[in-house]
């Protein structure tokens, strides 16, 4: 707003004053401001400190002058873990319109969460604050402030996940449902969703479990164009100040996660080992590679795409009969599809070298496809 809001001290207690207060918040909502601006506006209107505690634990407070004035989370009113708590802080008797102000504050914050929120329990300033936490370019003191404002603990084990941009809200809900109740903060950054997790858990077990859940909820159906659900990269565990490293690792791991049906949906960076070297391959060079270009040419037709998908499935499941069972076709159909790919590529899958080459070509092809979908200067 170009001018400050009308304060409660300038309003009476009559119905007309109530309507003027409501109209102020309605006008603010129409400007599509962020949650921080809403709380600041409420504090300026109330003429005293106003605070919010989100269900996830984030606490933000602005003083009467509209200055951000953080307090320790333990000093804020508690939350039941489901509802957003808002409050005003007065040293004298409360104003008759305080409850109206708090009601409108809750309403506008709820609308902001619906409009911009990613997680089921939105957190104030998540996109901007998370970008500070995840940036290696920011000063340590700035990251410390962002960590505190997000309600994170500097000393707790912290890791960052990067998820494909499909349905961010549902992606966060699915992932957090598999975490052992740690602190979680999330926001869309570039073309991916960043999820910061705090808590102790077995990374290998978690990545395998999340893989199973995604595959179960988004089973691959060959040749139908069915969405494969989210694909996820998981960074290594450190403290909150190493989140930028974990984010970088998560994004690199995400490039190995599959944007096609039969690659792995969830990849933990610590499990890549020497494969991580492939992330440094220039994507343009990968696309120009003769074998990758030929596979792309084969996959450009519906029948050829089916053959390539079946080949990917064969490398995942390891045998004709297992692949046929998973694809719900006869094993002779799988054999015919593999034969066409082998003939076109000059491969023999009975030869260990050719089988390795086929696996490698399909892997770097998936990396190039995932990278193209995630293409964002700030992300990759």
pLDDT tens by residue, 124-178: 445 778 888 998 888 888 888 888 777 788 888 999 999 986 677 778 878 877 8
Of the two residues 202 and 127, the one the predictor is more confident about is 202
Residue 219 and residue 174 share a domain:
yes
pLDDT at position 122, please?
Answer: 40
Domain boundary among 280, 309, 338: 280
> Residue 225's CB: how many other CB atoms inside 10 A?
7
Residue 189 and residue 54 share a domain:
no
- The answer to whether residue 248 sits within a structural domain is yes
**102-116 b/e with 16+ CB inside 10 Å = b?**
bebbeebbeebbeee
Average pLDDT of the chain to the nearest whole number? 84
pTM for the full predicted model: 0.65
Residue 131 and residue 266 share a domain:
yes
- The answer to whether residue 184 sits within a structural domain is yes
- The answer to whether residue 297 sits within a structural domain is yes
pLDDT at 201 over 80: no
pLDDT at 73 over 90: no
Residue 305 and residue 218 share a domain:
no
Residue 306 and residue 249 share a domain:
no
Of the two residues 344 and 66, the one the predictor is more confident about is 344
Place of tokens 């329990």: 121
Of the two residues 82 and 184, the one the predictor is more confident about is 184
Structural domain total, the chain? 3
Residue 26 and residue 92 share a domain:
yes
3-state secondary structure of 125: coil
How far apart, in whole angstroms, are the C-alpha atoms of residue 199 and residue 38?
Answer: 31
Residue 40 and residue 106 share a domain:
yes
Lowest mean pLDDT among 20-24, 214-218, 262-266, 375-379: 375-379
348 Rama class: left (phi>0) / alpha (psi -120 to 50) / beta: beta
pLDDT at position 183, please?
Answer: 67
Residue 271 and residue 132 share a domain:
yes
Residue 130 and residue 109 share a domain:
no
pLDDT at 4 over 80: no
pLDDT at position 293, please?
Answer: 95
pLDDT at position 259, please?
Answer: 60
pLDDT in tens, 140-154: 888 888 887 777 888
Q: What is the CATH number of the domain that holds 319?
A: 1.10.10.2840
pLDDT in tens, 237-262: 999 999 999 999 999 999 888 766 67
Residue 53 and residue 14 share a domain:
yes
Lowest mean pLDDT among 44-48, 56-60, 125-129, 371-375: 125-129
pLDDT at 101 over 50: yes
Nearest to 260 by CA among 305, 210, 293: 305
pLDDT at 2 over 50: no
pLDDT in tens, 290-315: 999 999 999 999 999 999 999 999 99
- The answer to whether residue 121 sits within a structural domain is no
Nearest to 257 by CA among 124, 96, 376, 374: 374
Full residue range of the structural domain in which residue 237 is found: 126-280
Domain boundary among 248, 280, 312: 280
Domain boundary among 116, 146, 169: 116
**35-51 b/e with 16+ CB inside 10 Å = b?**
bbbbbbbbbbbbbbbbb
pLDDT at position 349, please?
Answer: 95
- The answer to whether residue 3 sits within a structural domain is no
Residue 174 and residue 269 share a domain:
yes
What residues form DSSP beta bridges with 349? none
**Could you tell me the end-to-end alpha-carbon distance of the chain, in angstroms, rounded to an integer?**
36
- The answer to whether residue 312 sits within a structural domain is yes
Residue 112 and residue 16 share a domain:
yes
């Amino acid at each position: 707003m170009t001018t400050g809001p009308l304060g409660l001290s300038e309003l009476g207690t009559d119905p007309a004053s109530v309507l003027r207060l409501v109209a102020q918040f309605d006008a603010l909502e129409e400007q599509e401001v962020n949650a921080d601006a809403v709380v600041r506006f409420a504090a300026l209107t109330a003429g005293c400190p106003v605070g919010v505690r989100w269900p996830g634990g984030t606490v933000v407070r602005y003083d009467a002058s509209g200055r951000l004035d953080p307090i320790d989370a333990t000093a804020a009113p508690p939350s039941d873990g489901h509802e957003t708590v808002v409050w005003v802080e007065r040293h004298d008797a409360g104003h008759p319109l305080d409850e109206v102000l708090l009601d409108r504050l809750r309403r506008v914050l709820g609308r902001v969460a619906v409009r911009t929120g990613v997680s089921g329990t939105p957190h104030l300033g998540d996109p901007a604050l998370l970008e500070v936490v995840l940036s290696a370019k920011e000063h340590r003191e700035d990251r410390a402030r962002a960590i505190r404002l997000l309600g994170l603990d500097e000393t707790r084990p912290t890791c960052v996940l990067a998820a494909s941009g499909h349905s961010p809200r549902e992606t966060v809900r699915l992932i957090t449902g598999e975490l052992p109740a740690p602190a979680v903060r999330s926001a869309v950054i570039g073309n991916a969703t960043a999820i910061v997790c705090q808590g102790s858990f077995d990374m290998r077990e978690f990545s395998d479990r999340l893989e199973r859940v995604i595959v179960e909820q988004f089973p691959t159906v060959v040749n139908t164009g069915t969405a494969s659900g989210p694909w996820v990269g998981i960074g290594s565990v450190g403290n909150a100040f190493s989140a930028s490293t974990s984010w970088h690792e998560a994004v690199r791991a995400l490039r190995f996660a599959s944007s096609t049906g039969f690659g792995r949906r969830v990849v933990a960076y610590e499990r890549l080992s020497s494969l991580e070297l492939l992330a440094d391959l220039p994507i343009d060079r990968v696309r120009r590679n003769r074998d990758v270009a030929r596979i792309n040419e084969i996959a450009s037709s519906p029948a050829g795409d089916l053959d390539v998908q079946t080949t990917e499935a064969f490398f995942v499941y390891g045998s004709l009969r297992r692949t046929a069972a998973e694809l719900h076709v006869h094993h002779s159909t799988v054999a015919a599809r593999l034969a066409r790919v082998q003939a076109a590529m000059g491969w023999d899958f009975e030869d260990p070298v050719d089988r390795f080459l086929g696996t490698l070509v399909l892997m770097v092809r998936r990396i190039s496809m995932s990278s193209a979908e995630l293409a964002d200067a700030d992300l990759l």
